[in-house]
Structure 1
């Protein structure tokens, strides 16, 4: 998978931000909870694309729910990663259909960063 810049979002149930978990500096990160649109609303994904300085093909949409994040992200023509964190991420991470649909399944945001930067 070639490197890309990935808009990241925190699960509402998560006690940490992506930047706290990964140790990387933050950037403007649209989340479904911070806008009137929610995933899987296509307008939400259009906002994600509009807010990033890269093309749609370079975005990796990270989430923990197969329908709201993986299926909806793929429908929006984004690459997707399922992160095993929070109840949804752990529940769905072993499902063969979800694993086949997501471009990447990872245990943490740091693992995703390592895969994207080639340091894993």
Structure 2
């Protein structure tokens, strides 16, 4: 199992208001931008901006990072073996499949296995 990249999560009220500052800070444009449930998300540099109302964000605020991996099944096996707890998933999401885990020690991480076709479709938006 390989970790391909990790994104620090940044929770914001409005994606369009937040993005210009992150574009200036990273000298980059958003790589992905998509809606999921009542949220809007955009990756830019090593950040994942998650926008929504306080109510929409509430269930996700404990998640500290999003990690892209090449095998969600292997993550699940490792965390189960190490004594972690599955909080959500695996689920089908706009970019592939995800799984949210509480690690031993308390860290809460979302893991995503990208589906190349879905990611390419989201990159064009």
- Give TM-score, length-normalised by structure 1: 0.27
Q: Which has the larger radius of gyration?
A: 2
Which structure: greater helix fraction? 1
- Give TM-score, length-normalised by structure 2: 0.26
Which structure: greater strand fraction? 2
